[in-house]
Chains A and B, each alone.
Chain A
């Protein structure tokens, strides 16, 4: 009995061991992981990479990407590699290098898999980053960080954000602006040329206590003046003495409203200055519906264009729409719109009451209410559904009935 059990046990183990054939996938461990981190809080740092090259190869790795870490190969037939990082800085590309040595050993795996290379004993030889730490000297088959690249805090980068205020919304929604560029009074560099975004990082001048930025928009220019206080101190020994900026104060004669929401610089940058645009209170929303009343469904109408009696501008030219948003004349108590339909032009005159208001303390506007139809060329008189305007425009003010 004992003999039988022993025999079966041994042969079962042998059978199991035969099943354990090597896996040919991803045999080498010649890829090392690099994590970008911030010295200040040891948290991941997002780096704008233009590209990374390695000596002995013309390959470009991680071209144009934002990353908190990268994976880079080492030459299995060599014992040292130098990585050259091209990074995007606010003032232009930055080049940094990291040189590491390692031990490379070959091992024959099997007739099916061939050989593999085992990389070990990573050692940091040289670098010109702020700080680099060897975290793990043994690359794995699944890439984990071997090096941590730490950077000193960026102390001079202010963030501004553009916002569109609402009638009642005092913070506003992010608003894209279209730029030819942003220049400052202390640098010849033009930042963000031909760019469109709702927020921008701008450098402060450590040699002064004030900077004037010029925003060159597609539709005009505007200046923003930022005043501040500087303090020189050493917070991290590897970073040396750094200039920190506090007590930010922003002003502009052109922008509707400028608010400092955080008066010191953070890294990563958080919005310091909000540039807010006042709401347009004279917009109404007109829907095209197939019948009067709540049962009416919106229908698409082909337009050659819509014109007003106070402007030469043509709205919705050659468009098919079921709803339009149009500006009332806030300098008059009535506006006449001409809808150039496929069947011919049709007029609609709307009267309203204007009341002067100051929104968000700085926005001198007219609150528009009491919308009414003065005259209409449509077969059925349009319905007034909401007789007050609001911004942003969400509710339907007028419904034009065009039967199917």
Chain B
């Protein structure tokens, strides 16, 4: 009887530790879109864009792929600015609550992003020494890359419908093909402030989770 008790206790202990067994076969895939981009497209005249996200759950890790497109049309007192571009990000997150009974996710991760974009600016340059002159600048086929530290939540809302957000700290932007024009806004990265060298981003996601096994 005593020995039987020991056996049951050992089995229970082994069962509790079963999460440490590494299972790298993908469990599910979540696909969805960024609501922030859609809402901005709807209500901001100067912005138009979308972003799609796909995530694969592997053990306590999440492989992430994100792609999107946005364009801006901005007016200053003397100038017209426009940009347009497509971008993607790849990366991975670590789930810090893998034993959550509902399967919800609290994660930190990283991304590598790339963007292909164009910009144009028409403006009147007023100079007290050399006078006023209207100028036009165009940047075609420029590209940029950057890195992100990400963090956020994924919460199961109803059956296969999930909600979540991702906050992004973006840094290390480097661009090519921008010899005459320093980018104002890089699609996927955001506003380029050369004096800060970083920026923040936020995605609010509606996703569908599809089990793979």
Contacts and interface: CB of A to CB of B under 8 A. Distances in A.
Contacts of A355: none
Q: Which residue, of B121, B125, B129, B151, has the highest number of chain A Cβ atoms within 10 A?
A: B129
Interface string A203-220: 000000000000000000
Interface residues of A, number: 31
Q: Which residue, of B137, B152, B182, B192, has the highest number of chain A Cβ atoms within 10 A?
A: B182
B121 A13 contact: no
B130 interface: yes
Contacts of B152: 6, 10
B184 to A, nearest CB: 4
A106 B137 contact: yes
B182 A76 contact: no
A7 B137 contact: no
B130 A75 contact: yes
Given A105-B182, A109-B184, 17 more contacts: A3-B106, A10-B167, A14-B167, A17-B199, A20-B196, A22-B193, A56-B130, A77-B135, A106-B135, A106-B180, A107-B192, A108-B76, A108-B79, A111-B75, A114-B76, A114-B79, A114-B123
B167 A110 contact: no
A238 B212 CA distance: 78
A54 interface: yes
B129 A107 contact: no
B167 A108 contact: no
Interface string B39-72: 0000000000000000000000000000000000
Q: Which residue, of A17, A56, A111, A115, has the highest number of chain B Cβ atoms within 10 A?
A: A115
A105 B130 contact: no
Q: Which residue, of B76, B77, B106, B194, has the highest number of chain A Cβ atoms within 10 A?
A: B76
B188 interface: no
Interface in B106-143: 106, 119, 121, 123, 125, 127-130, 133, 135, 137
30 contacts: A3-B106, A6-B153, A10-B165, A10-B167, A10-B202, A13-B200, A14-B202, A17-B199, A17-B200, A56-B130, A57-B130, A59-B128, A73-B129, A75-B129, A76-B125, A77-B130, A77-B133, A77-B135, A105-B179, A105-B180, A105-B181, A106-B180, A107-B192, A108-B74, A108-B76, A108-B79, A108-B119, A111-B76, A112-B76, A118-B194
A126 B121 CA distance: 33
Interface in B71-87: 74-79, 81
A107 B182 contact: yes
Nearest to A17: B200
Given A13-B167, A77-B130, A110-B76, A2 B106 contact: yes
A77 B167 contact: no
A115 B151 CA distance: 33
A113 interface: yes
Nearest to B167: A10
A14 B60 CA distance: 27
Chain B interface size, as a band, is 35 or more
Contact of A14 (B183, B192, B200): B200
Q: Which residue, of B133, B165, B200, has the highest number of chain A Cβ atoms within 10 A?
A: B200
Given A107-B181, A108-B121, A114-B123, A54 B76 contact: no
Contacts of A109: 184
Interface in A81-129: 105-115, 117-118
Interface string B149-160: 001110000000
Nearest to B76: A114
Contact of A106 (B76, B96, B182): B182
Interface in A66-81: 73, 75-77
B19 interface: no
A112 B123 CA distance: 13
A6 B166 CA distance: 11
B97 interface: yes
Contacts of B130: 56-57, 75, 77
A290 to B, nearest CB: 62
B139 to A, nearest CB: 10
Contacts of A106: 121, 123, 135, 137, 180-182
Given A10-B165, A77-B125, A115-B121, A108 B81 contact: yes
